[in-house]
Chains A and B, each alone.
Chain A
Amino acid sequence: MRVLERLGHTIDFPYAQTCCGQMHYNTGYQPEALPLVRRFIELFRDSEVVCVPSSSCVTMMREHYEKIALASGDKTLQSEVATLLPRVYEFTELLVHRLGVEEVGAVYPHRVTYHSSCHSLRNLHLGDIPIRLLRNVREIELIPMEAADLCCGFGGTFSIKNPDVSGAMLEEKLQYIQKTQAEVCTACDNSCLMHIGGAMHRQRGNMHTEHIATILASDTVSRIPSNGTR
């Protein structure tokens, strides 16, 4: 929000929003996602642009909303989905592709490493957009991560249904993150960050996680403390 307002845009946040339906759809409860799709359309159909700070949610919308609408047989819903989807952007996508900015006036004097979440990489094909945005942050020290594209092991309900495998994947991912000796690990998805950050906290080390928006929001006016306290 801060970033977008700094760039001069007006933000609205429809209070009534809840969830994109990914959790249901991906776990095999596909019919249960339909009401959530309708809700999303209802709340956002008049928006000029919809900004979603989560690549997994945007993936859900782009890859499955049309299918869900088709399966419902509701022609109105189908056309509304088709009209709204092109106006939906993941946060970093919005900045670089739609608004054409790669420099957002951010200042963040810390060592940061970037995790390519699976959805941002393989579904949204964000490529190096997030990196380009991070590179333009003043005073940041960006450290590349080995195996940055290795899945962190969250996978939604996968982490609950297969906690041991999920934990093993996280263990390996953490080794690569810790090797960078960064202070902060960032990504475009809070789901990954919750998973990674949770383990970091358990280990009582010096690293913590921040969503990329938090880093891009940080500026000389109101620096965000980067010690993980809230």
Chain B
Amino acid sequence: MSTLPAHDLKDRRSPDFPSAALPLLQDVQLRSNVRHATGVIQGKRARVVGEMPDWQALRDAGQRIRAHTLEYLDFYLEQFEQRCSAAGGHVHWARDGAEANRIVLALAQNSTRRVIEIKSMTTEETGLNRALEAAGISPVETDLAELIVQLGHDKPSHIVVPALHKNRQQVRELFARTMNLPDLGERPEDLAEAARLHLRRQFLSTPVAISGANFLIAETGGVCIVESEGNGRMCLTLPRRLISVAGIDKIIPRFQDLEVMLQVLPRSATGERMNPYNSVWTGVHSGDGPEEFHVVLLDNRRTEVLRDAEARETLHCIRCGACQNACPVYRQTGGHAYGSVYAGPIGAILTPQLAMMESGQSLPYASSLCGACYEVCPVKINIPEILIHLRGRVVTGRPNALRAFHPEAVVMRAMQWIFSNSTRFSVAQRAGRIAQRPWIRRSGWIEHLPSVLGGWTRTRDLRPLPPQSFREWFQARNHASTSSPKSSEAPHD
């Protein structure tokens, strides 16, 4: 059962961010749940980060490790391939999601009708589950939240906590029905136990597992998986064949570099000093774990992101989700408004780039540029700067005819023309003062504006331009012999 959101920005006919956000904003319960969930994790993050006197040094190291890796990416990928192969692993390369899915299918198809999976954003990105189902193979989700969503034939309501929309009674009812446990208790412990037993049967009897990867280690050819529940360890150890799908941006140079990543990732992602389980393995270990191991290295436009000098640090991302939890926009809308596997601030910059800026063009504008994301990013991705840069690409990327006559572009050019000359500016101010008169209500404020400016007055009043601008006041004062300064606000914001 695929977990991609219904609203998919890769489809150009899909609604843009403001339209997708509106119904979500009206869901008061979901908004409150999102606020609560992100608030809890943010509080925990603040505590465990506050304990670290060397947090900024870790961020600096994290940023430089990632930047360095991308600069030598070809070298490190080749090294990883060589070392992993020498250890008995098979390394495959996929130009795009469809190719990755074909490779995985070929590895799974004749061996099994069922695969067990650890949640991976990369396989969601490629739509792997849909491809498996189309080929008659059932993917079994083993993360508890994903399991709940899958058994309920449901859709995840939230990227951080996908089963946020289900309370324990609903989960109990679901498990009792699908696992045939009529006497199942209602406490969270009972539900966890039911999931444990149900999934254990799957872990022990399914020959093929599919995972993502948190880090690929070039120096050793190893892979690192970071998790909390233990389903990762199960999938990585018990089946005969393991397939890990990883973006080419997952690679780090050396084993030692984990000492930085495993400090910043858990603290940023779940607000823990360390997550419960981290697994590292290299190729095939005879007598311990899968007999066959495959890695699929995925490009899917990451090499395009590399080309943009100002935006390539988007690929530094280690998928911690801290930016989502800090974002005041995400706080109001949740993840679905972004129409992509990657949501929140990182989604706003990654999604349009992976789509070659052909879709997702509303996403770089889905931000007030408050900077909270940059503050919490463990590898110091300057998301606000990249958002501004991508806005520039959206504007210059418009087809020529549209570029000249796009209403927004016309207004922008007009304003620039006015701002370039002080006479024009004064005239414009005076004209504005006259034009606004019919809109000023008895309260002295403007309460309604037409058309696109009406966006403002939907929720706010607007203080009108003062009868005397600051420059007029200053001019008058300077030319008067006595002065009794009237106060007024500075004209520019």
Could you list which residues of chain A lie within 8 angstroms of chain B, going by C-beta atoms? 1-2, 13, 15-21, 23-30, 32-33, 35-36, 39, 53-54, 56-57, 63, 118-119, 121-123, 149-151, 153-172, 189-191, 194-195, 197-199, 201-202, 211, 213-214, 217, 222, 224, 229-230
In B383-400, the 8 Å CB interface with A consists of: 385, 388, 390-396
Q: How far is the CB of B24 from chain A (nearest CB, A)?
A: 9
- Do B443 and A201 have beta carbons less than 8 Å apart? yes
Q: How far is the CB of A153 from chain B (nearest CB, A)?
A: 6
Contact check: which of B422, B453, B475 meets A18 at CB < 8 Å?
Answer: B422
Given that A199-B460, A214-B487 are known contacts, is A151 also in contact with B370, CB under 8 Å in the complex? yes
Given that A18-B425, A163-B458 are known contacts, is A118 also in contact with B370, CB under 8 Å in the complex? yes
Could you list which residues of chain B lie within 8 angstroms of chain A, going by C-beta atoms? 17-18, 21-22, 25, 31, 328-329, 331-333, 364-372, 374-375, 385, 388, 390-396, 408-409, 412-413, 415-416, 418-422, 425, 443-445, 447, 452-453, 455-456, 458-463, 466, 470-471, 474-475, 485, 487-490, 492-493
A123 to B470 CA separation, bound complex (whole angstroms): 27
- Do A170 and B459 have beta carbons less than 8 Å apart? yes
Contact check: which of A154, A164, A211 meets B368 at CB < 8 Å?
Answer: A154
Q: How far is the CB of A170 from chain B (nearest CB, A)?
A: 7
Given that A18-B419, A36-B416 are known contacts, is A28 also in contact with B391, CB under 8 Å in the complex? yes
Q: How far is the CB of B415 from chain A (nearest CB, A)?
A: 7
* Residue from A35, A119, A165, A166 with most neighbouring chain B CB atoms (10 Å): A165
- Do B391 and A166 have beta carbons less than 8 Å apart? no
Q: How far is the CB of B29 from chain A (nearest CB, A)?
A: 14
26 A-B pairs whose Cβ atoms sit less than 8 Å apart in the complex: A13-B471, A15-B475, A24-B412, A26-B391, A27-B391, A28-B392, A28-B394, A36-B416, A118-B371, A153-B328, A159-B455, A159-B456, A161-B18, A162-B21, A162-B329, A164-B18, A165-B21, A165-B366, A166-B459, A168-B332, A190-B490, A198-B462, A198-B463, A202-B461, A214-B489, A217-B487
Closest to B475 in A: A15
- Do B453 and A160 have beta carbons less than 8 Å apart? yes
B-chain residues with CB within 8 Å of residue A162 when the two chains form the complex:
17-18, 21, 329, 365-366
Q: How far is the CB of B123 from chain A (nearest CB, A)?
A: 30
- B-side binding surface: helix, strand, loop or mixed? helix
Contact check: which of A17, A27, A155, A163 meets B459 at CB < 8 Å?
Answer: A163
A33 to B420 CA separation, bound complex (whole angstroms): 10
Given that A15-B475, A36-B416, A198-B461 are known contacts, is A155 also in contact with B371, CB under 8 Å in the complex? no
A217 to B487 CA separation, bound complex (whole angstroms): 9
A-chain residues with CB within 8 Å of residue B487 when the two chains form the complex:
2, 214, 217, 222, 224
Closest to A57 in B: B492
- Do B474 and A13 have beta carbons less than 8 Å apart? yes
Contact check: which of B370, B408, B459, B461 meets A122 at CB < 8 Å?
Answer: B370
Interface Cβ pair total, 8 Å cutoff? 199
A-chain residues with CB within 8 Å of residue B475 when the two chains form the complex:
15
- Do B471 and A15 have beta carbons less than 8 Å apart? yes
B-chain residues with CB within 8 Å of residue A202 when the two chains form the complex:
447, 459-461
A54 to B490 CA separation, bound complex (whole angstroms): 9
Given that A162-B17, A199-B459 are known contacts, is A190 also in contact with B447, CB under 8 Å in the complex? no
Q: How far is the CB of A44 from chain B (nearest CB, A)?
A: 13
A197 to B459 CA separation, bound complex (whole angstroms): 11
A-chain residues with CB within 8 Å of residue B493 when the two chains form the complex:
54, 56, 189-191, 194
A-chain residues with CB within 8 Å of residue B466 when the two chains form the complex:
230
Closest to B447 in A: A202
Closest to A39 in B: B420
The 10 closest A-B pairs by CB, nearest first: A155-B368, A28-B391, A198-B460, A163-B455, A16-B422, A151-B370, A122-B371, A167-B459, A28-B395, A118-B370
B-chain residues with CB within 8 Å of residue A32 when the two chains form the complex:
412-413, 416
Contact check: which of A27, A57, A156, A217 meets B412 at CB < 8 Å?
Answer: A27
A129 to B385 CA separation, bound complex (whole angstroms): 26
* Residue from B329, B390, B412, B419 with most neighbouring chain A CB atoms (10 Å): B419
Q: How far is the CB of B175 from chain A (nearest CB, A)?
A: 35
A151 to B328 CA separation, bound complex (whole angstroms): 6
A154 to B458 CA separation, bound complex (whole angstroms): 14
A-chain residues with CB within 8 Å of residue B331 when the two chains form the complex:
169, 172
Extra contacts besides A159-B456, A162-B366 (12): CB < 8 Å? A1-B485, A18-B418, A19-B419, A19-B492, A24-B416, A26-B369, A156-B369, A158-B367, A161-B455, A162-B329, A170-B459, A198-B462
- Do B375 and A164 have beta carbons less than 8 Å apart? no
A44 to B370 CA separation, bound complex (whole angstroms): 28
Q: How far is the CB of A88 from chain B (nearest CB, A)?
A: 14
Closest to A213 in B: B490
A-chain residues with CB within 8 Å of residue B328 when the two chains form the complex:
150-151, 153, 169
A222 to B487 CA separation, bound complex (whole angstroms): 10
A123 to B371 CA separation, bound complex (whole angstroms): 8
B-chain residues with CB within 8 Å of residue A56 when the two chains form the complex:
493
A-chain residues with CB within 8 Å of residue B395 when the two chains form the complex:
27-29
Closest to A119 in B: B371
- Do B332 and A165 have beta carbons less than 8 Å apart? yes
- Do A165 and B333 have beta carbons less than 8 Å apart? yes
A39 to B447 CA separation, bound complex (whole angstroms): 34
Contact check: which of B368, B369, B412, B416 meets A35 at CB < 8 Å?
Answer: B416
- Do B463 and A29 have beta carbons less than 8 Å apart? no
B-chain residues with CB within 8 Å of residue A23 when the two chains form the complex:
412, 415
B-chain residues with CB within 8 Å of residue A13 when the two chains form the complex:
470-471, 474
B-chain residues with CB within 8 Å of residue A211 when the two chains form the complex:
489-490
- Do A18 and B369 have beta carbons less than 8 Å apart? no
A-chain residues with CB within 8 Å of residue B458 when the two chains form the complex:
163, 167
- Do A160 and B456 have beta carbons less than 8 Å apart? yes
Closest to B332 in A: A168
Q: How far is the CB of A160 from chain B (nearest CB, A)?
A: 5
Q: How far is the CB of A5 from chain B (nearest CB, A)?
A: 9
Q: How far is the CB of A6 from chain B (nearest CB, A)?
A: 11
